[in-house]
Structure 1
């Protein structure tokens, strides 16, 4: 499974958590530059995780619309590992 993580800076714990939950590939965009808000989500992305603590509202809206248009599931959550694990588990259960 390939996950695009948008937002945040220090994501080592998050990537370790995702790996333990079965994610093979994690791509990270920190969203500090305005140019991030106009990137295209890679086609092989299975899930987009947006960290709401570190993402501008307009950027989040852009990525949500892009994901919906291209049938890519997404999660909007806070940066805490407990929040991410909870939302990711809900995603996996809904997918099954």
Structure 2
């Protein structure tokens, strides 16, 4: 498989099937942050080094937490995808953001 995009996921306590979906889109979760820590609302945060994508699960985050992480992504030049915590919503957001599913036949000459 080609190089994976490294992502930080913010929101929700559990991710359920989200990691499997991200893997289909060639995205690897570098870190998952629940966003519950009150310091996430006030601090100037930095995303972990090597982060290429920030995924915000909007139905599990307050506006101030989202604003803080969006600002951190903007400072680092990291792309942001925001969606609800559902496989359908995330799949749509990733596709619209240019992260299409990896073709299982990408190495095949008959494809």
Q: TM-score range by the shorter chain?
A: 0.7 to 0.9
Greater helix share, structure number: 1
Q: How many residues align?
A: 94
Q: CA deviation at 1:43?
A: 2.1
Q: Deviations over 1:67-90 (max 9, x none)?
A: 112111101111111111111112
Aligned to 2:20: 16
* Whole-angstrom CA distance in 1 between matches of 2:77 and 2:68: 14
Say which of 26, 29, 41 aligns to 1:25. 29
Instruction: Work out which of the two has the higher radius of gyration on C-alpha atoms and give 1 or 2.
Output: 2
Question: Which deviates more from structure 2 when the two are superposed, residues 27-36 or residues 40-49?
Answer: 27-36
Structure 1's consecutive aligned runs of 4 or more residues displaced over 4 angstroms after TM superposition are: none
Aligned to 2:38: 34
- Relative to 1, partners in 2 of residues 1:16 and 1:26: Cα closer, same or farther, differing over 3 Å? farther
1:81 aligns with 2:87: yes
Say which of 83, 89, 98 aligns to 1:92. 98
> What is the TM-score of this pair, normalised by structure 2?
0.75
CA RMSD of aligned residues (A): 1.8
Say which of 52, 75, 79 aligns to 1:46. 52
> What is the TM-score of this pair, normalised by structure 1?
0.86
* Whole-angstrom CA distance in 1 between matches of 2:18 and 2:96: 17
- Relative to 1, partners in 2 of residues 1:19 and 1:26: Cα closer, same or farther, differing over 3 Å? farther
Aligned to 2:11: 7
